[in-house]
Each structure stands twice: as C-alpha cells, then as structure tokens.
Amino acid sequence: MTKKKKVPWFWTWVIGSVVFRLILLYFPKNLNLSSRPEVSTPLTSLRRLAEGYWLKQSSVSPYAGSMYHGSPLLLTLLGPLTVKRIEGQPDNLLCGLVFVIADVVSAMLICAAGEKLQVAYSSSLQSLGLRDLSENSERLPSGDFAALAYLWNPFTIVACVGLSTSAIENLMVVLSLYGACSRLAPLAAFGWVMATHLSLYPAILIIPVILLLGYGPDAPPRKLFWQRNRLEVGNSSSSDSYSEEKAKNQLKVANVFSWRPVVSFLLWTLLWSSYILVLCSIYVQQYGGLQELFKRTYGFILTIQDLSPNIGVLWYFFAEVFDFFRNFFLIVFHGNILMMLAPLALRLNHRPCFLAFVYIVISSILKSYPSVGDSALYLGLLGLFAYELKDMQFSFFLLSGYVGVSLLSPVMHNLWIWRGTGNANFYFATAIAYACFQIILVVESVSAMLNHDRTLTKLFTAAVQNVKS
C-alpha cells in the first residue's frame, strides 16, 4: 500500500480560511449578508434568534409572535452571545467565532471521514485483485480535498459571515456521518439526534447511517465479493480445508450485515432523544410545553407558514396556490422526499456515505426553507468521491450554473424589492434555475457512480477470466 500524502500546504490553507473569515467578520455590518434571503431563513437567522432570546429574557415565550422557530437548546447556546458586546469590536463577533469554529471542526471531521473511506475502499479493491485501481485511488487524498473544498466554498464562507446557524446544523450532520464511518454508535447517534432536532430533514439520514454501521464504509458492489469468494473456493483443493475456510472468511465483513453496532446506535438514539426532550421540556414548561414547541418548530417547517422569499421554490408555489389545495400539495412535496428514499437505498446500499450525500441534496432541493448553507454541506461531501466521480459529465456546466445563479440571485432580488423595476418572477426564475442545477448534480453524480461500479465489474470479470485461462 502506498503511503498517503497530505495536500501540499494543507494546514496553511486551513489557517488561511479562518483568517479570511475573521477579516470579513470585521467588515461594517458583515457586508449585510445576514439580511440576504439566500443566507438567512426563518430557521437559521441569528436576528430571529436574538429576538427570541430577548423575549425569553422579558419573561415571554420565545415562540410568541412569528419570529423564532428554532431549537431552545440553540437559543440557550447562542442567545447570551447575541447580547454580549466587546467594546471596539463588531456586533455579534462572539457568535461569528462560534460559526468559524463550527466550520473548521466540520472540515476536520470531513477530512477524517474521507481518510477512513479511502482506506476501506482501497482495501476492498485489493481484496478483489484490482491493485492498480487501489494505488490510483490512494494517490488522491479525497478527504483533504473535501475539507478544503468545504472551508473555501463561497457558500460556506457566506453562511458563516452572514451569521447563519446552518453551520451548527452542518456540524451535527457531519458528526453523525463521521461517527457512522468510524462505527462509533454513541457519536453517530448524538449527531443524528441533534441534526434532526435542529432542522428535522436530517431524519432521513438514519438509513445511510444504519448502512454505514452495519456494512461499513463505501465499497464496490457486493456481488463482486461473492464471485471472488466462489472463485477462491473453487480454486482451493477439496482436501485443503484451511484454504477453503480462509477464502470463505476473507471477505466476510464486506458481505455480512453487523447488527451489534446498529442495535447500539438505536439504543443510544433513544437515550439522546430522551435527554434532549427532557431538556427542552424543562426550558419550555412555562410556555406551553413540548406540544407548543413541536407546533412552533416542526409544525412551522412542515406547514410552510412563512412565505418570505428564499432560494427554494416552495415559497412562490404556496403563495400562488389556493388554500383549498394547500394541504394536498404539502403532502405531495414532503412525500416526494420520502418516496425517493427506498429506491435509492436499494440501489446504493453498498455506498452508504454517497447515499447520504444524495439524500442531503434531495432534501436541500425540496425543503421548506433552504439556504446556501445546505449547498455548502453537500458540495463539501462531494469532494469525498472525487476519484469515483472523476468522469462525471457536465461538470463545467454545473460550475458555471452555480456561479451564474449566485451572481444573478442578488441582482434579481434588488430589482424586485428595492428598485421596483421587476417582480417576484425575476427572483423565482433564479430559484428555479438553482433547483434545476441541483437536480442535474444529483442525476449526473449518481450516473457517474453507477458507471464507476460497472467499470469495476468489467475489470473484475476480465481479471477472473485471466485467472481461469
């Protein structure tokens, strides 16, 4: 196995990203990014969180009115920092430092998860006899590239400088995936429970997390391991029982679902969920209890009550639809996410980490209140599969599309809201284009991954024929 190398100047780039964020945080009013609809949503806005904390300090329910709809735990963590000022320093500097730390920790977890994925994938290729491909995959430190892509992604930087709480949500999602890749059930359960508690949509990640814990990190199609196993058994002599037993057990881990870490994960999930519910009930017991909390948070997400513009498509649709059909289309849009889970899980069950990436992109397209922080997360995770997706089509087209939408969205919003020379259709057109580019990204990435698996199958079949001949 070749020795792994770090990306040149890796830590220099990491420190540079931190310094760059700190410089931007010192700009007057943080470039006014916190007021941008692409950055701050009703769920991730720090301004709304500060309003909720002020209501709490005034002995009023933080969910009174329609300002705050986030977690009371997040209110407890960041609320005091919104009112604490350092003389001569920008407002909310302490909150900005929290988001900077969250971004760096997320990047380090992505890097660590990438290293584990790369080691596991390389060993799987070697066990199949595809040593050349194994050496090629080791030459590309995908974990380092993914970490740097996350830190230097303009979406990540904008979300951090714009004081969006999506950095905390992304940290919890990455923590869950890292814990699952490492088969650390308590850590995976904590990350998944917290991510679901903060924004609800990461609940669908329980499928790839369970697959990661049960089967381990991403690997080639399992049918190749069964064929390799049968080939080993067939080549071994009938008297050589040791060789036959070794051939049967050689790839046992790659084919057998391990229930112990999954059961442990479920138990830890129950424990962490109970603990969080107890903390939340204590916090809101004088403001209507958990029923009011669920109504103001998860109910707010599912019913799409706030129709202020964002980079999603649902705000415009539900502003135009008749109230009589509203509940029907709520079921359609939310059910659309659920309908995709099972087919994708069946087809990509041997690549659970990539499956998590696909789920995150789909939820980012169809969620009630999307922001650039959601895109920052899945674009960072995309770097983990740089080797497998190296032949993905339309890469330049997608890059140009993302850049174009990022530049046009503020322009269209300004023409509509401030100059009055446009209308809602101007801004909604950029939202539709953004959704289309995300759909193309999902389709092309899945196609490229399946093509990569077909290439592995062809190479393995050719190798087996050479051995037989």
Tens of pLDDT along 301-315? 999 999 999 999 999
pLDDT average, residue stretch 266-280: 96
Q: How far apart are CA 14 and CA 375, in angstroms?
A: 20
Instruction: Report CA-CA distances (Å) from 229 to 23, 125, 246, 253, 453.
Output: 57, 14, 10, 12, 18
Closest CA to 376 of 12, 24, 38: 38
Cβ neighbours of residue 301 closer than 8 Å, sequence gap 6 or more:
43, 69, 199, 200, 201, 367, 368, 369
Instruction: Name residue 456's amino acid.
Output: L
**Whole-number pLDDT of residue 239:** 44
SS3 content of the chain, % helix, strand, coil (to 5): 75, 0, 25
Is 90 exceeded by the pLDDT of residue 370? yes
Residues 95-150 have pLDDT tens digits of: 999 999 999 999 999 999 999 988 888 877 777 777 666 666 666 688 899 999 99
Question: 331 to each of 299, 305, 334, 335, 338, how far by Cα in Å?
Answer: 13, 14, 5, 6, 10
Per-residue pLDDT at 226 exceeds 70: no
- Rounded Cα distance, 198 and 369, in Å: 13
- Residue 401: phi and psi, rounded to 5, are -65, -45
Q: What is the per-residue pLDDT across 382-394, written as a single tens digit (0 to 9) for each? A: 999 988 888 898 9
Residue 197 has pLDDT above 50, yes or no: yes
Say how far apart CA 105 and CA 255 lie, in whole Å: 33
Residue 9: helix, strand or coil by DSSP? Answer: coil
Residue 304 corresponds to which amino acid? Answer: I
Q: Quote the CA–CA distance of 326 and 319 in Å, as a whole number.
A: 10
What percent of the chain has a predicted confidence (pLDDT) above 90? 59
Q: How far is residue 137's CA from residue 131's CA, in Å, rounded to a whole number?
A: 10
The alpha-helical segments, DSSP class H, found in 285-423 are 289-296, 298-303, 314-320, 326-347, 352-366, 372-382, 395-413
Say how far apart CA 240 and CA 420 lie, in whole Å.
83
Q: Are 152 and 17 in contact (CB under 8 A)?
A: yes
* Cα–Cα distance for residue pair 397/247, rounded to 1 Å: 46
- 3-state SS assignment for residue 5: coil
* 2-57 residue pLDDT tens: 445 566 688 899 999 999 999 998 876 667 888 899 999 999 999 999 999 999 88
What local confidence, expressed as pLDDT, does residue 138 receive? 60
Q: Is the pLDDT of residue 249 over 60?
A: no
Q: What value does the mean pLDDT take over residues 264-269?
A: 96
Q: How far is CA 433 from the centre of its chain?
A: 21
